[in-house]
Amino acid sequence: MPYVRPDVQNVLNLLAAQPGPPMHEGTPEAARMMMRAMGPMMERPRGDLARVADVQIPSGHGHTIPARIYSAAANPGPGPVLAFYHGGGWVIGDLETHDSLCAEIARTLGVTVVSIDYRLAPEHPFPAATEDCIAASEWLATSPRDIGHPVTGLIPAGDSAGGNLAAVIAQQLHGKLAVPILAQWLIYPGVDMTATGGSMDEFADGYLLTRDGMTWFTAHYMGSDSEQFGHAYASPLAYDVAGQPPAMVFTCSLDPIRDQGRAYAAKLINHGVRTIFREAAGQIHGCMTIRGAIPSAQDDLMACLTDLRALLNEAVVAPAIAEAAE
């Protein structure tokens, strides 16, 4: 039997005792309601911040993209922005489900965080989510007035499906924006739509995210055209990562998509990309947004933010050293 942390086991026992069919046997709207309902029961309170503001980002395609800005400083000076793309299999999740997490990141890291509420499937199938995140990232790089300070760099970040989106943003936009991508933070990312076997079988059921749940998410987002599974916006693991910005990759040992995150970190390292890889033993997928019920997940988050801060410090120091050497 794999190692399971005591606080994780408590949550798994609670979830197993809940009546009703599993998420993948219901509708997307029912699943969205379920995820929203979990927040007040299992997540930590948002806490205080100097500024939390909702904005609308132009998509360039006739619709706007809701977003939420978090800042720990009332009058921040020039600095980077962490663009957060929430998880939920491209089908569920929103600004509210990741509100506490984004606030914690802003408060601890000391940077402005902008949470992106991209369009969801099946109403808006692949590649709508990626298109919205690309548009939002390009907008952020222009230092829009809504942000409240000049933007000096971008940090794509996200959990699960959001980790997929962050990886794609890094691949597609690195070196193409008005500001540099300083680092990328991939939290238990789904980066291979074709993945089978391994952790997908080992943790197929009983650990919150299930293999059937992943199939359900993929079907709603990607449809039945398996040829799309290998697209650069769907499976970034299959594409070139040489020259990518520094990466912090976080996985959980009890996660059915654990092996995808491991493989992506390994590929980054093998191609010479500065990478910090961290795996939480005995932890489950989705832990970052249920830190109230799993207190040890807060420690995992703080460790990730320490690592990410190290990458950001390096990103600032390296150009200064190069300039001094000229």
* Alpha carbon separation from 195 to 199, 208, 211, 214 (Å, rounded): 10, 18, 11, 10
Question: How many C-beta atoms lie closer than 10 Å to residue 167's C-beta?
Answer: 29
pLDDT tier for residue 325 given thresholds of 50, 70 and 90: low
Percent of all residues in the chain with a pLDDT value above 90, rounded to a whole number = 93
Q: For residue 324, is pLDDT > 80?
A: no
Q: Taking residues 281-296, report their average pLDDT.
A: 98
Q: Taking residues 261-286, report their average pLDDT.
A: 98
Residue 290's pLDDT is 98
Q: For residue 250, is pLDDT > 70?
A: yes
pLDDT tier for residue 326 given thresholds of 50, 70 and 90: low
pLDDT tier for residue 323 given thresholds of 50, 70 and 90: low
> Among the options 100, 137, 160, 235, which is catalytic?
160
> Among the options 192, 285, 300, 307, which is catalytic?
285
Query: pLDDT tens digits, residue range 113-139?
Result: 999 999 999 999 999 999 999 999 999
Query: pLDDT tens digits, residue range 197-231?
Result: 999 999 999 999 999 999 999 999 999 888 899 99
Query: pLDDT tens digits, residue range 66-107?
Result: 999 999 999 999 999 999 999 999 999 999 999 999 999 999
- Classify residue 282 as exposed, middle or buried by CB count within 10 Å of its CB (0-12, 13-18, 19+): middle
Q: For residue 162, is pLDDT > 80?
A: yes
SS3 of the chain: CCCCCHHHHHHHHHHHCCCCCCHHHCCHHHHHHHHHHHHHHHCCCCCCCCEEEEEEEECCCCCEEEEEEEECCCCCCCEEEEEEECCCCCCCCCCCCCHHHHHHHHHHHCCEEEEECCCCCCCCCCCHHHHHHHHHHHHHCCCCHHHCCCEEEEEEEEECHHHHHHHHHHHHHCCCCCCCECCEEEECCCCCCCCCCCHHHHCCCCCCCCHHHHHHHHHHHHCCCHHHHHCCCCCHHHCCCCCCCCEEEEEECCCCCHHHHHHHHHHHHHCCCCEEEEEECCCCCCHHHCCCCCHHHHHHHHHHHHHHHHHHHHHHHHHHHHHHHC
Residue 224's pLDDT is 85
Class of domain 6-15+24-319: alpha beta
- Classify residue 62 as exposed, middle or buried by CB count within 10 Å of its CB (0-12, 13-18, 19+): exposed
How far is Cα of residue 293 from the mean position of the Cα atoms in its chain?
20
The type of residue at 149 is: H
Q: CA 211, CA 207: separation in Å to the nearest integer?
A: 10
The mean of the pLDDT values for the chain is 96
Q: For residue 321, is pLDDT > 70?
A: no
Say what the pTM is: 0.97
Structure tokens at 132: 């919205």
pLDDT tier for residue 316 given thresholds of 50, 70 and 90: confident
Q: CA 21, CA 312: separation in Å to the nearest integer?
A: 44
Q: Is 255 a catalytic residue?
A: yes
> Among the options 255, 259, 300, 307, which is catalytic?
255
Sign of torsion over alpha carbons 14, 15, 17, 18:
positive
Question: How many C-beta atoms lie closer than 10 Å to residue 290's C-beta?
Answer: 21
Residue 20's pLDDT is 86
Q: For residue 29, is pLDDT > 70?
A: yes
Q: CA 131, CA 151: separation in Å to the nearest integer?
A: 21
Domain ranges in the chain are: 6-15+24-319
Residue 226's pLDDT is 83
Residue 259's pLDDT is 98
Strand-by-strand arrangement of the 247-252 sheet: 51-58, 64-71, 112-116, 79-85, 151-159, 184-187, 247-252, 275-280
Helical packing angle, 161-173 and 128-140, nearest 10°:
60
pLDDT tier for residue 32 given thresholds of 50, 70 and 90: very high
Residue 127's pLDDT is 97
Residue 228's pLDDT is 94
